[in-house]
Structure 1
Amino acid sequence: MTARCSFLVPGDLGTRTGGYAYDRRIVDGLRAARWQVEVQSLGPGYPAPDAAARAMARGVVEGLADDTLVVVDGLAFGVMAELAAAHAQRLRWMALVHHPLSLETGLAPGRQRELFDSERRALASARGVIVTSRATARALAAFEVDAARIAVVEPGTDPAALAQGSGPGELALLCVATVTPRKGHALLVEALAALRDRPWTLHCAGSLTMDPACAAALAGAIDAHGLKGRVLLHGERDEAGLRALYAAADVFVLPSFHEGYGMALAEALAHGLPVISTLAGAIPDTVPAAAGLLVPPGEVDALRAALQRVLEDADLRARLSEGAREARRRLPTWADSAARFAAALTAAGRAASA
């Protein structure tokens, strides 16, 4: 019997973020393993869909045949509590949680509580929950999700050439992340402002349009600190453009306030780059101590001190790079991840029919 599922995503599956990249690669991997996978969009605007998007989602869900195994990206599923409950008896819901919605940076307390409650109720309707890290699995205890219903399927990482670095002169720092408050770009600029006398250039690759206000504030901070020309905002880059940035980088920096896994961090390890990041979410699980310096999230002085150490100490950079090269050997492939995802779907299907 052919294995099949529907895979429901918010917005456009082609969106260039880590979460959407995960979804795309899992869909491709399932199809390569002879699963029949139907991908449908639930509409734009998640996790704050308007009435039209909610109506679109309702139409998609109502059109699914009874007993369909339905994987829903958590960016949408977390705000679909009522719809999920209404169809919980006829559909086999599988929630894919990259990280809980209420852990997004910058939420007002009321909105944070609203998202927490909505996601808790939505997850109660799921037959199983797939998360992308052990840290997220632990976090779901607060949402009353039984650990027995959770499967951890970490993202895969493509084989990558080791970074060659920038050569003599200024060190090239690289940050790959959509410009949103959670990623900590403003904190990074503030930390680097006090190190302007050191030889460095920061390259930032990631969307400047997903949160225009955040991007505008970042550009203003760069100007205010006199770092125009030292901090370069490249916007979205295609795969070839990202490979070129990784290849020419000396250090990878991502001062996130939370990560459900940190695919860009794994990508940095795959290129053998030393990492500066934070202790938030799954980052300590993704980046081993031998490969990076991890500081408390939101602490600019600690971030500045870590940057200064790496900028000034070539031996430290070499040791961290060696740690990254060791870590790259243990990174799962996308084939590994797709196989684990398929196993989680199969196990949930068996449990539902038992």
Structure 2
Amino acid sequence: MTYISEDGAFGGPVAVAAGHAEELARRGHQVDLLAGWDGKARLSIPGVNVGLFRARKVAPGLSGLTSIGLLSYLRAHAADYDAIHVHMGRDLVTLPAALLALSKGRRVFLQTHGMVMPDNRALAKAFDAALTRRALGRADSVFVLTDAEFDGVTAVAGETVTPVIARIPNGVATRGVSAERDVDPPVVLFLARLHPRKRVLAFAEAARELSESGVRATFRVIGPDEGDLAAFLAYKSEHRLNQLEYAGAIASGAAVEELSKATVYVLPSFGEVFPMTVLESFAAGTPVILTDECAIAPDLTARGCIEPTTGEPRDIARAITQLLDSSDRRAALVEAANDALTDWLAIGAVADRLEEAYA
């Protein structure tokens, strides 16, 4: 996979890959997880051989990362593997890795995490023409999360490429925990990259509305800066929001621990496909507020797993108030989420699908 860093900047795909690896190793498979690395982060997965290789930027953004060490290792050891599962984005780590493994005659499975969707920017078009379409067309299978991602991958592949695509959900281990926490005042958590698409400023506006109306709660923001930190801190300072705090970034694998300390988790982002932090919140027993624009939101709403919101600050504030005021509502969301983790979103069910595909 692309990148493991101390600030958890590539959090969702890391959590998914680690979950797959741990469950497959638990079932008796020999599993290696290979990733680009910032030279600082630590990652340990029970039963899994973790290989971290320094990644460096050769161009701006995550897409500009490459890891000569990872690609050299794979070139030398690709024949050791019966299946190579690449958590792939438009970058110079995973795309070359996928093509290298294919050139060695290995069985290759790609998982795109919503990162390979139609994009008219020049850099995306260049990646697709040079690398992406070749990888999609030659892989044994491409794993997608939703029907929308299925359509997107098909569109990126183009008319001359017919990838084999399978829909497999994300999954986490069921923990069977309770929604009730001895937290006073209650903690309302935003945990995501501080990127404009994640909309931390909408969370801040909702926190302001609730603080000014006398709601007693701590509004905590956790995540690495990807463009919105300065604006967030300026907004907090301008409105003197002492109840709103920024706790910095956390390492990969630490999300469930942070979520387990919260009373409510809020993800106000648009353009999400299948956010892993929502599943991790389910595993932590923490009720979730999610925008109804998220691709997986309709299914989660139908199952009663989330409190849906339009994503506008006033509606986010309404949803937060509803959950803080009702322990019964919080408990109902957690119970429904546990039911979903037992079947649809259980890591065991996901691993069953992976084993079938690899075989």
User: What's the TM-score once normalised by structure 2's chain length?
Assistant: 0.73
Deviation of 1:180 after TM superposition, in Å, equals: 3.0
Deviation of 1:203 after TM superposition, in Å, equals: 1.8
| Partner Cα distance (1:277, 1:238) in 2 | 22
CA shift in 2, pair 1:284/1:320, >3 Å? farther
2:106 is aligned with 1:71: no
Match of 2:290 in 1: 277
What value does the CA root-mean-square deviation take over the aligned residues? 3.7
Unaligned runs of 5+ in 1: 1-8, 347-354
Match of 1:325 in 2: 335
| Partner Cα distance (1:241, 1:112) in 2 | 30
Deviation of 1:80 after TM superposition, in Å, equals: 5.5
Tell me which moved more, 54-63 or 186-195: 54-63
Matches within 5 A, 1:1-354: 9-12=1-4, 16=8, 17-42=11-36, 43-44=54-55, 45=57, 47-50=62-65, 53=66, 55-66=68-79, 68-75=82-89, 84-85=98-99, 88-89=102-103, 90-101=105-116, 109-114=121-126, 118-133=131-146, 135-144=148-157, 148-165=164-181, 170-198=185-213, 199=215, 200-206=217-223, 208=224, 211=225, 213-236=227-250, 242-243=256-257, 245-278=258-291, 279-288=293-302, 290-296=304-310, 302-311=312-321, 318-319=328-329, 321-331=331-341, 332-346=345-359
- Matched to 1:110, the amino acid is A
Answer yes or no: is the 8 Å Cα contact 2:281–2:288 preserved in 1.
yes
CA shift in 2, pair 1:328/1:61, >3 Å? same
| Partner Cα distance (1:129, 1:18) in 2 | 18
Q: Helix, strand or coil: the match of 1:70?
A: strand
- Matched to 2:357, the amino acid is A
Deviation of 1:345 after TM superposition, in Å, equals: 1.5
| Partner Cα distance (1:129, 1:77) in 2 | 17
CA shift in 2, pair 1:314/1:149, >3 Å? closer
- Matched to 2:166, the amino acid is I
| Partner Cα distance (2:264, 2:186) in 1 | 8
CA shift in 2, pair 1:291/1:79, >3 Å? same
Answer yes or no: is the 8 Å Cα contact 2:189–2:259 preserved in 1.
yes
Per-residue CA distance 1:13-45 (angstroms, 9 max, x = gap): 887423212211211222222222233335525
Per-residue CA distance 1:145-183 (angstroms, 9 max, x = gap): 757532414222331421324667x54312222333332
Deviation of 1:340 after TM superposition, in Å, equals: 2.2
| Partner Cα distance (1:155, 1:182) in 2 | 23
Match of 1:3 in 2: none
Deviation of 1:320 after TM superposition, in Å, equals: 5.5
Match of 1:349 in 2: none
| Partner Cα distance (2:78, 2:254) in 1 | 40
| Partner Cα distance (1:88, 1:311) in 2 | 52
- Matched to 2:340, the amino acid is R
Per-residue CA distance 1:35-78 (angstroms, 9 max, x = gap): 2223333552574235xx35445423432445853211113678
| Partner Cα distance (1:233, 1:128) in 2 | 40
Tell me which moved more, 333-342 or 230-239: 230-239
- Matched to 1:173, the amino acid is V
Per-residue CA distance 1:308-328 (angstroms, 9 max, x = gap): 254157676633541331231
Per-residue CA distance 1:277-305 (angstroms, 9 max, x = gap): 11223343345463333344xx5xx3422
Answer yes or no: is the 8 Å Cα contact 1:72–1:94 preserved in 2.
yes
